[in-house]
Structure 1
Amino acid sequence: MLFCVHHLIVVAYPCSKSSNQMQTSVSTSASLSLPLPPHSFPPIPNTFPLSNFKPLSLSSQQQKEPLPSPSTPPHTKPPHPNDPSSLIQLHFKRGNVDLARQVFEESPRRSVSAWNAMISGLAHNGFPREALEYVRLMLEEGKRPNWITMMVILPICAKLRTLKQGKEVHAYALKRRFLPHVTMVSSLMVMYSKCGVIGYSIRLFDGMEKKNVILWTAMIDSCVENGFLNEALAVMRSMQLTRQRADTVTLTRMLCVCGELRRVKLGKEVHGQVLKLGFASVHYVAAELINMYGACGVFDNAKLVFGAVPDKGSMTWTALIRAYGYKEWYREAIDLFDLMMSNGCSPNTFTFEAVLSICDRAGFVEDAFRFFDLMSTYEIEASKEHCTFMVQLLTRYGKLDEAQRFLEMSPSL
């Protein structure tokens, strides 16, 4: 049975956002201008309404070759033996961005693989806008982006919320017959949802006759990203009716939604699926179970899940610290953090975010300073969230000079 999420989402549950918002055309969405040439990819016209949007249909283009299989990526040629892409990738993996760029620029033979290595490497090393600039340079050099290029560019467009470039990639994928393909469709769905155009995500999802767990998860993520949590539950129910087996990623998304909506009954059902499928010992699944029970106020269940994890990592410890915070057991949460470290488990950036949040709520100024200073021991760079908690706490207690210091540490505040 084919479930039409487009109708399901509008009808199944009341929502704080109107159905008109969910069906908003891309023509009403703002797009950012990045340095891509105007005719690099064939753009989708801004007047193209959602009611006529059929991204998986190529009936208007007469193609002699068959479409690629939805489960198998299009064939790409292996790189030439003298191709520099492997060396470029190696430098990027080691964080040597300048060396990677030098190898690329000094290479007399810059293949599509080499360009892909540069674009991907820049994106993964924190230079997404520079990565898009290399797409422009690639096109200027006359190189044609392949399927791998598309899969590299789409997450960049999603991260930067660059709807215009995302639409161009979508149109190019249609022209090159890269669709339908599950991985690319899910990436497009994520990109559109990140840009606030969930209507396109719904159309892409409905256009796929055979839906696997990747597509269902992408549809759930699209709803969550745009604040449609009740609708995300409706998608989950539809997925269950198809007897599609959920994986660990899908289950954690379900648990996250149950926690946000305080739906403990449904959360327990998902917990049953976790146990049935044997995922209870997976760290991030166990952590999300603890988060869900903590958010729903069922602390005993949160502790039971924590106790059942044989090899506890920072994710599970952090989740239980948050659960203590939900119960307003602030001193116990701080003691749990200390117990975590005494057991040899290293806290991560999210652990420090959790304990600093608790210090902020409880007014533990000295503990907050201790934790903030401790981050450098674990080579964790202070984030905007860390600094925000410190500023809020110090301002509340009249320590304005010290609060100003943390403001200066985080320019984005």
Structure 2
Amino acid sequence: MASHENQADDMSISCAIAACTSLQEFGVGLAIHGLGIKLGYGENNQISVANSLISFYSQFRDIHASETVFKGMAGKNVVSWNAIIKGLFLNEEAGEAFYLLRAMQFVASIQPDIATVVTIIPFCAELLLLREGKAAHGFTIRREMASELSVINSLINMYSKCNNLKEAEYLFLTMPKKDLVAWNTMISGYAQNGQPQEAQTLFKNMLGCYSTCTLPTLLAITQSCDSPDSLQLGRSIHGWSIKFGFSNQIFALNSLTHMYISCGALLDAFTLFGGISAKADVTSWNTVIAGCTQKGHFWEALEYFDLFRKASRLHFNPIILVSVISACGNLGLTFQGRLIHGLAFKTGAVTNTQIQNSLVTMYGRLGDTESARRAFDLSHNPNLCSWNCVISALSQNEDANKALELFRSLEFEPNERTISTVLSAS
């Protein structure tokens, strides 16, 4: 369009910015923003352009730029408010997001709509904000939105994630009409809350209502196959996924690999993984390495980490390193543990709090309390888990006095694990 000397308008500019957001093209987005200002379609006088810019900068973690655009708008619509609220949540500014949600309700011409609600509730689910989620639920009832399918499905997911399965179950059972999303969400809710039998029963009931299923159905039900007793069903689900054409979907293959590891069928898991290793993403490798560690197959986890480093050009993520560090600690491999520590230091991953905590735990298991304490002291942003790890490491290695000294200087409200560790030291 630009090469044909046609002048872009506000619609083409906002669409182009939205495309940059989807493609993660920050530099191009900045250039289009500049072009919009040059042509007189800046954020101050064009709502559609401003709304696209808010989402664009939010996705690139520049919430200050998003707020600047929002505050500079001469006129705002409900999309503007929804975009900035979502942006604040994406940038871990939940308090500010709720503040703006409250302020939005005092704007006479604009009120929260269904899009606002289905933006807020999933973040309440991810952040485990049950109280705020219940408040959002109450709001939907007052505004007569509670019968909307998208709202009910979001609420079922929120209550499931917040371990309030009774509320999720009640909403599901009282739905006047259920879609596949509702079934999938409830099946996943049962599986995530340690009720695999209920998840599997609901899955079988769902198959009586629908002749076909979706990939989210597969991802939901495989979570419930987490023991050798579920292996037969898991193999049936694998066959069903091939039948419905999901056998080339990397998400499905990762889920099935984890299912086989959880059921103790390592040969099946490794055979399946071997068939996809050429196109495996970092999540695939993470699935097999972390899955082996979680189920106590520590040697296998280390073997696959070695294969990952040799065969893959992918950069490992913190979860993979945490799993490998844990495997070294459980196997008592001091030399290998120090090598992984060095690798984390070399790649800069050592600044990750999860990795720091796993290093403290590993050195504690290896009986090296001096290294455990040093790893804790070098933590950039220790959390309560960090304190629990180092107190536990000292307590387990007969450094009880040092453990109690650390407890006295604890910078957080102790939880159940803290108290049990300190009682053990005492």
| TM-score, normalisation: structure 1 | 0.73
Distance 2:306 2:94 in 1: 38
Deviations 1:167-219 (A, max 9, x none): 33223323434343322211011122233332221222122243222111111
Q: 1:161 to 1:328 in 2, by over 3 A?
A: closer
Residues of 2 paired with 1:332 and 1:170: CA distance? 45
One of 286, 307, 311 as aligned partner of 2:274: 307
Tell me if the contact between 1:302 and 1:323 (Cα under 8 Å) persists in the aligned partners.
no
Letter of the structure 1 residue corresponding to residue 97 of structure 2: A
- Judge conservation of contact 2:282–2:314 (CA < 8 Å) in 1: yes
State the Cα distance separating 1:249 from its structure 2 match. 2.1
| Distance change (3 Å), C-alpha of 1:329 and 1:156 | closer
Moved over 6 A (4+): none
The alpha-carbon deviation at position 266 of structure 1 amounts to 1.0
CA contact (8 A) 1:213 1:245 kept: no
Residues 340 and 183 from structure 1, CA distance in 2 versus in 1: closer, same or farther, beyond 3 angstroms? same
Deviation, 1:251, is 1.0
Identity among equivalent positions (%) equals 26
Q: Aligned equivalents of 2:190 and 2:183: distance in 1? A: 11
Which one of the candidate residues 344, 362, 382 is aligned to 2:331? 362
1:100-124 deviation per Cα after TM superposition (whole angstroms, max 9, x unaligned): 1122223232322221111100111
Counterpart mapping for 1:110-129 below 5 A: 110-129=76-95
In the superposition, relative to structure 1, how do residues 327 and 182 fare at CA in structure 2: closer, same or farther (>3 Å)? closer
Per the alignment, do residues 243 and 324 of structure 1 end up closer, same or farther by CA in structure 2, a change over 3 Å counting?
Answer: same
Residue correspondences, number: 334
Q: Distance in 2 between matches of 1:326 and 1:157?
A: 27
Per-residue CA deviations over 1:46-89 (Å, capped at 9, x if unaligned) read xxxxxxxxxxxxxxxxxxxxxxxxxxxxxxxxxx9435222211
2:359 to 375, 390, 400: 390
| Aligned counterparts, 1:157-172, within 5 A | 157-172=124-139
- The code of the aligned residue for 1:318 comes to N
Selected match of 1:346 from 315, 330, 338: 315
Match of 2:383 in 1: 411
Q: CA deviation at 1:267?
A: 0.8
Task: Tell me: CA distance 1:177–1:272, structure 2 relative to 1, closer, same or farther (3 Å).
Answer: same
Verify: 1:178 aligned to 2:130, yes or no: no
Q: What SS class does the counterpart of residue 258 from structure 1 fall into?
A: coil
TM-score (norm 2): 0.71
Q: Deviations over 1:349-393 (max 9, x none)?
A: 322232222122112233334334434666657555433332222
SS in 2 for 1:126: coil
**Residues 330 and 189 (structure 1 numbering): CA distance in 2 closer, same or farther, change over 3 Å?**
closer
* Contact 2:250–2:280 under 8 Å retained in 1: yes
Q: Is the 8 A contact 2:185 2:220 kept in 1?
A: no
What is the match of residue 220 of structure 2?
A: 253
Distance 1:192 1:226 in 2: 11
What is the deviation of 1:161?
A: 3.5
> 1:131 corresponds to which residue?
97
Change (3 A) 1:333 1:158: closer
Tell me the residue number matched to 1:233.
200
Q: What are the Cα deviations for residues 286-313 of structure 1, in whole angstroms up to 9, with x where unaligned?
A: 1221222122222221122112225122
Which range moved further: 184-193 or 328-337?
328-337
User: Is 1:82 aligned to residue 50 of structure 2?
Assistant: no
1:36-47, aligned counterparts within 5 Å? none
The SS at the match of 2:74 is: coil
The 5 Å alignment of 1:205-354 reads 205-260=172-227, 262-309=229-276, 310-322=278-290, 324-325=292-293, 330-343=298-311, 344-354=313-323
Q: Which structure exhibits the higher relative contact order, with contacts defined as CA atoms closer than 8 Å and separated by 6 or more residues?
A: 1
Aligned to 1:57: none
For 1:319 and 1:82, the matched residues in 2 are separated by 43
Match of 1:93 among 59, 75, 78: 59
Instruction: Tell me, yes or no, if the aligned pair for 1:88 and 1:101 is still in contact at 8 Å.
Output: yes
The structure carrying a bigger helix percent of its residues is 2
Q: Distance in 1 between matches of 2:350 and 2:74?
A: 39
Q: For residues 99 and 110 of structure 1, what CA distance do their matches in structure 2 show?
A: 16
Mapped to 2, the partners of 1:237 and 1:163 lie a distance apart of 30
CA contact (8 A) 2:363 2:371 kept: yes
- Paired amino acid for 2:303: D
Q: Cα offset for 1:154?
A: 0.7
Task: Report the AA paired with residue 395 of structure 1.
Answer: G
Instruction: Provide the secondary structure at the position in 2 that maps to 1:166.
Output: helix
Alpha-carbon offset, residue 332 of structure 1: 4.6
Q: Label 1:246 to 1:357 Cα distance change in 2 as closer, same or farther (>3 A).
A: farther
**2:225–2:259 Cα contact (<8 Å) kept:** yes
Name the CA shift for 1:253/1:383 in 2 (closer, same or farther; >3 Å).
farther
Provide the C-alpha distance between the structure 1 equivalents of 2:156 and 2:295, rounded to a whole number of angstroms: 37
